[in-house]
Structure 1
């Protein structure tokens, strides 16, 4: 099996006047070591040589005040199944700096970040990526981000507009995006008809104990896209809003840190294998991958 290569870089957003931290994970030759990314650890081969072949790109969009490393185990799983994975941190809406939360600027920035990250990935690994073959995985407001970059037309909501009237959010669709995976998506920014231009296959996964984005958010997608038959909706019994993230390190797992908590009797580790298989099977159907990865050779 190929190693999980890792390149760390920063992407310039000239509109936001900010840098977007980005990790690219990819099938590689090399020796993996356990690396720390803040409080999170993952076995990767830093700056290792990519294996031969071309692979689809999967971009992961994290939730509000989040981090892409909360989806590290999913990312590694996808690399091992023949995908290159981009893990951007949405500057201004992360655990380190959340000063753009609940603003119209954040709603515009996030989809643009995805396009900039796709551009950067193709620049970095152009000989190893299938042309114009991208999927986006989005959790919570990351689900909003995925829908917006795939053609959704958002409007500001009550948090963003405050005393101002609703206004459209200007987003440029990226037609390289061919499939979406929505994990407990937040969709309140899409009015009726706003998702009609979303015409790509969608896998939507929700939990029946989610009080942050309850079933109305999922119905916005099912009722809003151009073709409901393009959406596969799976509900995990007992799962809440944060249950699709990797388990947090022990020092972060505490009752006051809600993302680390699951409903009584539910353990997110128990669903990870099934969740990952559902996602990789959907991606295989929609954006494809290589039949098999070569065995790893250190270089």
Structure 2
């Protein structure tokens, strides 16, 4: 094989790898949006440029870049509902894997049923979770840094404990 043929094959291989590769972003941005208009506080994990820092959140070490500018990603949103007595931060590693695939992940902190406040843990708080999930989506739809890059016609949902029934 001559030198030109080898270079051409290498260029073709590089193009195939480039076109089929899953995009991976360098950092996971994170921002907490305060409770607003009756919606709970939400934590947003998203693709960002830069290098992650080690953060301490809810007694956990999390690799993320706080308040970083958001990158476009794949335009898709996944809502994550934590289990009773937990926190979105306990699942930052899962969020990081989803962000690496280009997703934005929003996680509402369920009022009165989270790590800092279990006053209404259990069946009473579970009744409000579908509304809290919808409100979290609405918060992102009203937040300019995310609204213009998300396609909200199809949203993924993931939950633990009883929240797995939330979408029903």
TM-score (norm 1): 0.45
Aligned equivalents of 2:72 and 2:134: distance in 1?
A: 25
Residue number in structure 1 paired with 2:29: 5
Instruction: State the 1:121 CA deviation.
Output: 1.5
Aligned length: 142
Q: 1:100-131 CA deviation, whole Å, 9 max, x = no partner? A: 12353x23321111011001122220111113
Instruction: State the 1:22 CA deviation.
Output: 1.4
Q: Secondary structure at the match of 2:167?
A: helix
Please provide the CA RMSD for this pair: 1.7
Provide closer, same or farther for how the CA distance between residues 6 and 102 of structure 1 changes in structure 2, counting only shifts above 3 A.
closer
Q: Is 1:42 paired with 2:66?
A: no
Q: 1:174-229 CA deviation, whole Å, 9 max, x = no partner? A: xxxxxxxxxxxxxxxxxxxxxxxxxxxxxxxxxxxxxxxxxxxxxxxxxxxxxxxx
- The one of the two structures with greater contact order (alpha-carbon pairs below 8 A, sep at least 6) is 2
Aligned equivalents of 2:142 and 2:37: distance in 1?
A: 15
Q: Which structure carries more helix by proportion?
A: 2
Aligned equivalents of 2:71 and 2:121: distance in 1?
A: 39
Q: Is 1:112 paired with 2:136?
A: no
Q: Is 1:76 paired with 2:96?
A: yes
Aligned equivalents of 1:130 and 1:23: distance in 2?
A: 19
Q: Is 1:144 paired with 2:165?
A: yes
Alignment of 1:76-225 (within 5 A): 76-104=96-124, 106-124=125-143, 125-147=146-168
Q: Say which is worse superposed, 76-85 or 89-98, in terms of deviation.
A: 89-98
Aligned equivalents of 1:67 and 1:52: distance in 2?
A: 26
Instruction: State the 1:143 CA deviation.
Output: 0.9
Question: Which consecutive residues of structure 2, in runs of 5 or more, have no partner in the other structure?
Answer: 1-23
Aligned equivalents of 1:20 and 1:141: distance in 2?
A: 18
Q: 1:258-285 CA deviation, whole Å, 9 max, x = no partner? A: xxxxxxxxxxxxxxxxxxxxxxxxxxxx
Question: Which consecutive residues of structure 1, in runs of 5 or more, have no partner in the other structure?
Answer: 148-299
TM-score (norm 2): 0.77
Provide closer, same or farther for how the CA distance between residues 53 and 79 of structure 1 changes in structure 2, counting only shifts above 3 A.
closer
Q: 1:23-75 CA deviation, whole Å, 9 max, x = no partner? A: 11111112321111121121111111112355210011111111122211111
Alignment of 1:214-293 (within 5 A): none
Aligned equivalents of 2:53 and 2:29: distance in 1?
A: 10
Instruction: State the 1:13 CA deviation.
Output: 5.4
Aligned equivalents of 1:82 and 1:141: distance in 2?
A: 27
Q: Is this contact kept in 2: 1:11–1:116, CA < 8 A? A: no
